[in-house]
Structure 1
Amino acid sequence: MRKALILAVTLLVLGGGALFYAVRAARVAPAQEAAFDLARPGQIVVRDHASGFVRGSRTRCERFATAAGTGVCLVTEVAKTYAVVVDRTMKQTRRLHIAGIPSRARVSPTGRMISWTVFVTGDSYNKGGFSTWTGILDNRTGYAITNMEEIPLTKDGRRYHSADVNYWGVTFAGDDNRFYATVSTRGRTYLVEGDYGRWRARVLRENAECPSLSPDGRRLVFKKLMPGGQWRLHGLDLASMKETPLAEPAHVDDQAAWLDDRTVMYAKGPDVWAVPADGTGAPRLLVANASSPTAVR
């Protein structure tokens, strides 16, 4: 029986910008190269921009993230999307069917908590024709939340309710409990801090999307919507809540990652770039023809 390869191009409008996603058939190969090890410290694991393979492996993903020898690969196979959890050798350990087009993926520093964001269509409140679903998996227990939009949210000291609440871009702290994410509602975006154990979240500030927590847990990097519709990378000190624009002048539509406690990395065009996290310096090319970077510690 023939297997059809489906190519679908979906136009998404988010925060005044247009996002084009090419959905390609993808799979996780059952056998992997023995030399490839996700847990080897000092390496930068990336997705090859041209082929879609995680470099060094025979695994193709739309989005990929890894930490502590655990990886998550978002794949689209014959119009169905999956979050595939892999071990350090890229062997599949879990496979979850998730609805939508892959957008973001993250693994907590311990490898226990896994999150993903997909774009979906059909929500009745969504006049733009799409929304986001963000899921969280406890890889130790196997408990999964496929859409976190019902998490109790506090805004301005009060419980917040709205039918159009959307979450995306989760990033976890090293305790596997505290997390940060973006929430969108009534035409605005907010940075939220969440407590997984108590299952609640609170708004910290407006106009901060796709946060990423530094390895030391003290700072966030996020993209901020600027006049004219461009996203610019900014840093946030969590103790002082001081915001610092980074020295990347270009539009960056990515959830940045941390190369180390002083440097962030991100996809810009077909390549991965790096820039200091304190607002100094200048952007530099880090890995050509790549995306979804993770620094293995």
Structure 2
Amino acid sequence: MTPQRRILILAAFVVLLAAVAVHSFLRASSRADEKNHARAGGPQITRGAVSLAPAGDGPRIVFRNMAWGPHRDELATVPAAAPEGARTASGVSCLRFHAAAGTGICLRVDKGGVQDGYRAVVLDAGLKQVSAHALAGVPTRARVSPGGHLAAWTVFVGGDSYAGTDFSTRTSVLDLRTGRLDASLEDFTILKDGRPYRSADVNFWGVTFAADERTFYATLATGGRTHLVRGDLAARTVTTLRENVECPSLSPDGTRVVFKKRVPDLPAEAPWRLYALDLASGAETPLAEERSVDDQVVWTDDRTVVYSLPGDFGADLYSVPADGSGAPARLMASALAPALLG
């Protein structure tokens, strides 16, 4: 063996040892961060099985864990009756997530290649991948229909905040029964004020599905205004219903939506308040949460909604009655993108 070859082998060995040392250090640091977080009042987290299927031990919450440590960004679960209790982490990482009826949608980073991208991954009840779809931008909203047959997601393809007006979104709907993917709701026929409408500045976001697995509601933005729309997947139409409605979330009984409303005189970077809209009467009710909420709420039942606000580790979850009564209360620290599963 030549001296040069011995030097190359030695150099490679040194690099390998350094890589192992760095990996061990980072892993130990991550575990230390998690232990310190728990000692400081953060949740205890252990690796285990997480399922989206109904369980015999009662309702539970599956969510994106935001606590520091090796399980940050993983889907985790807690009993709905003990939301601040010990967490079970799945090993499956998502940026945005939602689930219903044993089906999940996970918007995640797609690592590899010259530059990381994003993809939407449909998950079965055991969090195994059913299908994957490339995303055209940064994930922001995700929803599964009550029966688990439809999934929708929204990404930013230009800009990265709903607060201003200089952004562009793309919203897709996937029918898991047929495999049909409507890549953009902008391809649907828009009926605005009773007439067909077309414009280059149309954007959609924040889909929420009805129980019939055909009807949906969403936000349509055009001409500097936002509109609540009702969509029909079979007819491929959306119809405007009301102005100044963003990120609607349909109640389990299908009678109301809770949404973000822009309120005059609030700061430009925090312009929203949560409101409930009765779809039959058109009556609006402000909810008791007075902070600006940039989220699409999730209903826990026909009386209560859950949403995220900024927290020490990225986001915390809060709940508030949907009828305007009561007061907001923190539900979970260091958590985002919840799905309430019975």
Q: Unaligned stretches of 5+ in structure 2? A: 1-46, 77-88
Cα distance in 2, alignment partners of residues 136 and 232 from structure 1: 27
Question: Given the alignment, which residue of 52, 76, 94 partners 1:61?
Answer: 94
Residue number in structure 2 paired with 1:172: 209
Deviations 1:110-166 (A, max 9, x none): 0000000000039xxxx9663000000001111101111121111111111111100
TM-score (norm 1): 0.85
Question: Given the alignment, which residue of 210, 214, 238 partners 2:279?
Answer: 238
Residue number in structure 2 paired with 1:213: 250
Residue number in structure 2 paired with 1:35: 49
- How far apart are residue 34 of structure 1 and its match? 6.5
| Distance change in 2, residues 1:176/1:34 (3 Å) | same
Cα distance in 2, alignment partners of residues 163 and 136 from structure 1: 20
Residue number in structure 1 paired with 2:260: 223
Amino acid at match of 1:208: V
| Distance change in 2, residues 1:239/1:128 (3 Å) | closer
SS in 2 for 1:59: strand
Any conservation in 1 of the 2:48–2:90 contact (CA below 8 Å)? no
The answer as to 2:112 corresponding to 1:76 is no
Any conservation in 2 of the 1:34–1:89 contact (CA below 8 Å)? no
Cα distance in 2, alignment partners of residues 101 and 76 from structure 1: 9
Residue number in structure 1 paired with 2:86: none
Cα distance in 1, alignment partners of residues 317 and 48 from structure 2: 26
Matches within 5 A, 1:263-278: 263-269=304-310, 270-278=315-323
Cα distance in 2, alignment partners of residues 94 and 102 from structure 1: 17
> Identity of counterpart residues, as a percentage?
52
TM-score (norm 2): 0.74
Cα distance in 1, alignment partners of residues 143 and 183 from structure 2: 14
Cα distance in 1, alignment partners of residues 156 and 109 from structure 2: 13
SS in 1 for 2:51: coil
Any conservation in 2 of the 1:98–1:146 contact (CA below 8 Å)? no
Any conservation in 2 of the 1:81–1:97 contact (CA below 8 Å)? yes
Amino acid at match of 2:75: V
Deviations 1:197-219 (A, max 9, x none): 11101111000000001111111
Deviations 1:194-249 (A, max 9, x none): 11111101111000000001111111010001122321110011111111000000
Cα distance in 1, alignment partners of residues 110 and 215 from structure 2: 32
Cα distance in 2, alignment partners of residues 90 and 155 from structure 1: 40
More strand by share: 1
Residue number in structure 1 paired with 2:35: none
Cα distance in 2, alignment partners of residues 84 and 76 from structure 1: 10
Cα distance in 1, alignment partners of residues 168 and 263 from structure 2: 22
SS in 2 for 1:149: helix
Cα distance in 2, alignment partners of residues 250 and 190 from structure 1: 22
More helix by share: 2
Poorly superposed stretches of 4+, deviation over 6 Å: none
The answer as to 2:292 corresponding to 1:251 is yes
Residue number in structure 2 paired with 1:262: 303
SS in 2 for 1:291: strand
Amino acid at match of 2:92: T
Cα distance in 1, alignment partners of residues 205 and 199 from structure 2: 16
SS in 2 for 1:191: strand
Cα distance in 2, alignment partners of residues 120 and 35 from structure 1: 35
Amino acid at match of 2:51: D
Amino acid at match of 1:72: I
Question: Given the alignment, which residue of 259, 280, 283 partners 2:328?
Answer: 283
Any conservation in 2 of the 1:64–1:292 contact (CA below 8 Å)? yes
Mark the structure with the bigger radius of gyration: 2
Q: Unaligned stretches of 5+ in structure 1? A: 1-32
- How far apart are residue 46 of structure 1 and its match? 1.1
Matches within 5 A, 1:183-194: 183-194=220-231
Any conservation in 1 of the 2:165–2:224 contact (CA below 8 Å)? no
- How far apart are residue 35 of structure 1 and its match? 3.2
